[in-house]
A and B are shown apart, each in its own frame.
Chain A
């Protein structure tokens, strides 16, 4: 199973500069323009805030490598967070709430996977449809209001620390290692690499492309459920618009990280760096008191630039 990662190695090396340069340039700009940026407290802050995004960006990388896309992640995260909050309030059990969130995420992931793999509906339109469904359910479940009054035990998941390391960072590290193992050291991962770029070859080798696709989208939904836990803990409430657009930050992180949208070449470490780059951009713009609306425009520009560079790389 070392073959695919070995084969990817030269490509990875060639990509290091792109996303690393973006990260260094962004950090340098913000370190020079805002005095608080380079402080240890702020750096810890960036890392903690990036954890939710990483949980979405990891499966997004896998999905984009299958030449797919999941636009529903932000809305699914939001709905899972609402179900979590409502379950905790009704039952008093954070564990039950957590599993409810995971179940909601997995169900949406499974639905996406089935629609895409079995009914052959293109991924972007499938997940656009399920985005509408999840958003509608969120509004219906809450009537547009926040769900508040969640016990402190949930809040601690975001604000707590283990041996001095913030809990969200530990969760994100486990998620990263898990996804890395899945992508580089399992048969599923090998098929994902094979799927993007040469679907027909995989079919002819007698491998169930449908199975691979369905598992990729279920992974996406499941991780959105995990992210919902961190999001609910961070906000100490659930709100029907809390996660709207999160999938865009995730797609931005994957694109900046050098995973290609058309040929299915993926690079998980690039996604990690891409997530930090998006986190640095958001944090730096916050420190400069740039309005969140303008931040969205900046991230949009970042994606277009990253895709442009990706397009240039494909030229030869």
Chain B
């Protein structure tokens, strides 16, 4: 129903090319500055971190495409990871843990969706409130404890390899495919773009706006739940503050990936490139032994730059 114009498609391709070029330049720079960058273990490290960031950011991309925002993804990872960890250890069942993690994430997303649609609370303030509630609940639940030592089968999800490539990379590629097909090739996906571009027009042309919004927040929550499992399997322990530092980078990845904060424009594939760029920056800072205290500062500046560039591009576009 909403065939995207050819012009927009070529703009997508050009923007993706610029961003890949930026990623390549970053790689070249880091390879020159650090001996460690091109080692297999570091490359795998970058890929794992990119996968994690992408999984969080892919769901968030859908939310931002509707001109919304989900600030609760990091706190969602915290609670989902801790509950999943309890299920794995308590019931000795990784499958139950996976279901708990994704289920908990999806429920949190559903709650966000209901707050934004039924109660009509602006998304950034609703998800900000939920973020603090989740953080409080997680700290209360864990009471400073750590849950660690998961069965090797479960740990494969985060630290295992298949054909010499880290497992999370496959998860990332699967969701890149699903996300892209969903957003570009299904009616629901196109409706999400339509809501972001012009909610009033979308409603008038028969798009069930509320139901689609609830869907994107639920998907964003479920993806955070899935990401929490990858973190859990990788670091082999769960703590209350596990997702705290992940919200800003996830938002940055979406925005650097070219998705407009004002909705209606962007792609899931762009977010993958954004996640890669952000991971390269943070990984490079680690390799160059820059104090990790710089990370929130740099991420904050990257977010501001990305939105500023988006603003300028949109103005030129108009």
Contacts and interface: CB of A to CB of B under 8 A. Distances in A.
Contact of B128 (A122, A248, A301, A311): A248
Interface stretch (B53-61, B197-205, B216-224, B291-299): B291-299
B185 interface: no
Interface stretch (A91-99, A134-142, A162-170, A200-208): A134-142
Given A140-B293, A261-B125, A304 B300 contact: no
B297 A304 contact: no
A133 B301 contact: yes
A211 interface: no
Contacts of A262: 122
Interface string B98-113: 0000000000000000
A136 B298 contact: yes
A132 B303 contact: yes
A124 B137 CA distance: 24
B272 interface: no
A303 interface: yes
A71 B126 CA distance: 13
B121 A304 contact: yes
A167 to B, nearest CB: 30
Interface stretch (B28-36, B150-158, B176-184, B304-312): B304-312
A132 B130 contact: no
Contacts, number: 132
B188 to A, nearest CB: 26
A205 B291 CA distance: 50
B208 interface: no
A122 B125 contact: no
B129 A304 contact: yes
Consensus secondary structure, chain A interface: helix
B296 A132 contact: yes
Contacts of A129: 300-301, 303-304
Interface string A244-256: 0100100100010
A39 interface: no
A294 interface: yes
A178 interface: no
Contact of B136 (A119, A125, A300): A300
Given A140-B293, A261-B122, A128 B129 contact: no
Contacts of B20: none
B125 A125 contact: no
B304 A303 contact: no
B303 to A, nearest CB: 5
A121 B311 contact: yes
The 3 A-B residue pairs with the shortest CB-CB distance in the complex, in nearest-first order: A132-B300, A136-B297, A297-B136
5 contacts: A119-B308, A122-B262, A122-B307, A293-B139, A303-B125
Given A115-B308, A125-B303, A300-B132, 6 more contacts: A133-B300, A261-B125, A262-B122, A293-B136, A295-B136, A296-B135
